[in-house]
Amino acid sequence: MKSEVSLTTLLENIAPKLLPDDYVFCHLRGARFDSLPGDGCLAAIQEDEGLSFVLSKAAADREGLSYQGTFRCLSLQVYSSLHAVGLTAALTKELTDHGISANMIAGTLHDHVLVPSADGDRALHVLQSLSLTADERNSV
């Protein structure tokens, strides 16, 4: 499937899906990718100081890892291009306007938005409304 670059098309089709798990951000100083827990990992970034990763709260608790706060993940179902311009800005602006902090993670085909757990359902509604608004703009 071809990835999408048009911001209007992306916003019309984001189809956010709220994943069921709570996620946490963890860091292992000096660690490499082979240090990752066996399951529940959503994303990992190798930094100079070690390995930062996002994994399910359940996996972090099993591994005895420390974290601050829990997050819900909204996975956008549109196939977004890594060359698309403005998607992150549009999403984060809308969430900011509703007082919701957001951490974006880009996959090869999908973008993912992590929001504080308490804001998960509200963020889903905000992004669904943004998609409807984009669709309404095109039908005028």
* CATH code for the domain defined by 7-139: 3.30.2130.10
Q: How far apart are CA 38 and CA 123, in angstroms?
A: 29
Would you list the domain boundaries of the chain? 7-139
Predicted TM-score (pTM) of the model is: 0.88
Q: Which residue from 45, 16, 3 is spatially nearest to 123, judged by alpha carbons?
A: 16
Determine the 3-state secondary structure of 110 from DSSP.
coil
Place of tokens 């005895």: 64
Strand partners, 75: 17, 112
Q: pLDDT (tens digit, 0 to 9) for every residue of the chain, 140 residues total?
A: 788 899 999 999 999 999 999 999 999 888 777 766 667 789 999 889 888 999 999 999 998 999 999 999 999 999 999 999 999 999 999 999 999 999 999 998 899 999 999 999 999 999 999 887 765 655 54
CA 123, distance to chain mean position in Å, is 11
Under DSSP, the state recorded for 48 is: T
Q: Which helix (H) or strand (E) holds 41?
A: strand 41-47
The whole-number pLDDT of residue 136 equals: 62
